[in-house]
Amino acid sequence: MSSRIAQIRLVSSHPEVYEPCDDSFALVDALLADRTNLLQHQPALCLELGCGSGYVITSLALIVGQEAQYIATDINPHAVKVTHETLEAHGVHAELINTNIASGLEERLKGLVDVIVVNPPYVPTPEDEVGREGIASAWAGGENGRTVIDKMLPVADTLLSKKGWLYMVTLTENNPAQICLQMREKGYASRILVQRLTEEENLQIIKFWRDSDLQVAEKENKTVPAKDMESLLSDFHIFPFLRGSHDDSS
Amino acid sequence: MRLLTHNMLSSNIKGVTNGFPLRIEIEKVVEKQVEFNPDFLKNMFPKIEWKALVNASHSMGYVELPEEVEPSRLDSEDFLHKFHHALLELHLEEGALVCPETGRRFPVSKGIPNMLLHEDEV
Ligand SMILES: C[S@@+](CC[C@H](N)C(=O)[O-])C[C@H]1O[C@@H](n2cnc3c(N)ncnc32)[C@H](O)[C@@H]1O
């Protein structure tokens, strides 16, 4: 069965709000590719950090359905307004909050979110460009593009429920293998759902989920077995061979 | 902003220890019909701070929720409908959320709360 996603002609815009781009499309493609799992997962609460135009949260709401509740945040006040318009144009609802990452939600929403989606500002830039007002904060990611990502990951870890999943966009320059290893230390397994080579960027959409075996290992202070580590890293090593093929999601 | 969201928001100002629940200042409330989903309500019930929801719904003019509630009430269709209405159908459209400890106002405009902090509050 095919699933509806947000339609570009119904996505609202504003000069200071990030327009849906290859990274946004890759993230929604990953959600579509994982649609069967998402529906079986029956999430109650879903959250997007940094919703921009609303293209992704609207698509998620269309894919998963209105039985779940949706919350989306953005630090840019124009973005949450534009997201509101995009949601309305598609007849779906999400609660919107103008905030830094999930500030204000962390205490009460702890451990309650079943699905988090993030397309963070991931472009490597000078540190002082991060979080500036206006459109630059949509992409400026500081050193290795990791400044905002490294703040968002612990928040996602706090908010995710026991069965929670995180879908995140990364760029090869962000060192996604290292992100996966860091998350592994917190008990998350990970998998690349989509890899995409655009004219300028080498993008990955990574899915993280809590793996009870890893959590046991963490409690007992064991290190992750080297074999698993290798298989994880090999996911990233095979990537260079995919150059030239544009997409593995279809 | 739905009261579900109000129930999940606390004052995020640095140093505040009693940031929940935020007081609601009302300029405009709207009601929007939402499809009734008893499973979601039963699932959410244990995660809701009941007193905060009752007081918030009172301040928005809805007085049907009982002050105290046993989980057995979830078997009552009538109760679930009231819970549903308070949690999901009442929206704070214009107004503010006020930090209970410092009195700092977080404006709500077009249904969207602004929780951004000033530099000296982070
Ligand atoms: C690459 S854009 C993605 C927008 C949209 N989700 C999409 O995929 O098209 C990143 C978004 O994150 C927002 N953002 C940047 N830093 C943030 C922060 N600290 N907290 C919340 N949102 C942030 C930006 O305003 C921007 O809308």
Tell me how far apart the alpha carbons of residues B28 and B60 are, in angstroms, rounded to a whole number.
9
Nearest CA to ligand 1 atom 5: A52
If you count them, how many residues does chain A have? 250
* Residue of chain A with shortest Cα separation from B49: A108
CA distance A75 to chain B (A): 7
The radius of gyration of chain B from alpha carbons, rounded to an integer in Å, stands at 15
Residues of B in contact with A68 (CB under 8 A): 40
Q: For B31-71, how does the pLDDT look when each residue is reduced to its tens digit (9 = 90+)?
A: 999 999 999 999 999 999 999 999 999 999 999 999 999 99
pTM of the model: 0.92
The pairing of strands B105-109 and B23-31 is: unpaired
Q: CA-CA distances (angstroms) from residue A172 to A63, A117, A144, A192, A203?
A: 28, 19, 9, 12, 6
Three-state DSSP state, A114:
strand
Tell me how far apart the alpha carbons of residues A122 and A37 are, in angstroms, rounded to a whole number.
27
Q: Is A95 on the interface with B (CB under 8 A)?
A: yes
CATH architecture of A23-234: 3-Layer(aba) Sandwich (3.40)
In this complex, do B10 and A104 lie within 8 Å of one another by their Cβ atoms? yes
- Note whether A49 and A70 are within 8 A (CB): no
Higher pLDDT, B95 or A218: B95
Nearest to A175 by CA among A146, A205, A141: A146
Q: With bands split at pLDDT 50, 70 and 90, how would you rate the model's confidence at A248?
A: very low
Q: What pLDDT was estimated at residue A246?
A: 43
Tell me how far apart the alpha carbons of residues A188 and A186 are, in angstroms, rounded to a whole number.
6
Q: How many CB atoms lie within 10 A of CB A245?
A: 10
In this complex, do B11 and A104 lie within 8 Å of one another by their Cβ atoms? yes
Task: Reply yes or no on whether the pLDDT at A114 is more than 70.
Answer: yes
Residue A101 Cα: closest atom of ligand 1: 20
CA distance A165 to chain B (A): 18
Q: Is A80 on the interface with B (CB under 8 A)?
A: yes
CA distance B12 to chain A (A): 5
Maximum distance among all Cα pairs of chain B, rounded to whole angstroms:
48
Task: Reply yes or no on whether the pLDDT at A180 is more than 70.
Answer: yes
In this complex, do A112 and B2 lie within 8 Å of one another by their Cβ atoms? no
Residue A17 Cα: closest atom of ligand 1: 27
Q: With bands split at pLDDT 50, 70 and 90, how would you rate the model's confidence at A131?
A: confident
Q: What's the mean pLDDT in A104-108? A: 97
- Note whether A113 and A46 are within 8 A (CB): yes
The residues in A 34-73 lying below 8 A from B, measured between CB atoms, are 44, 66-69, 71
Q: With bands split at pLDDT 50, 70 and 90, how would you rate the model's confidence at A240?
A: very low
Task: Reply yes or no on whether the pLDDT at A97 is more than 60.
Answer: yes
For chain A, give every domain's residue range. 23-234
Q: What is the mean pLDDT of chain A?
A: 89
Residues of A in contact with B93 (CB under 8 A): none
Task: Reply yes or no on whether the pLDDT at A247 is more than 50.
Answer: no
Q: Which CATH code, of 2.70.70.10, 2.60.120.330, 3.40.50.1780, 2.20.25.10, is assigned to B3-114?
A: 2.20.25.10
Number of A–B residue contacts, CB under 8 Å: 73
Q: What pLDDT was estimated at residue A245?
A: 41
Which two structure tokens, joined as six digits, stand for A244? 């030239």
Q: CA-CA distances (angstroms) from residue B89 to A82, A93, B1, B32?
A: 22, 12, 10, 5
Q: With bands split at pLDDT 50, 70 and 90, how would you rate the model's confidence at A232?
A: low
N-to-C CA span, chain A: 15
Angle between helices A55-64 and A22-33 (to 10 degrees): 10
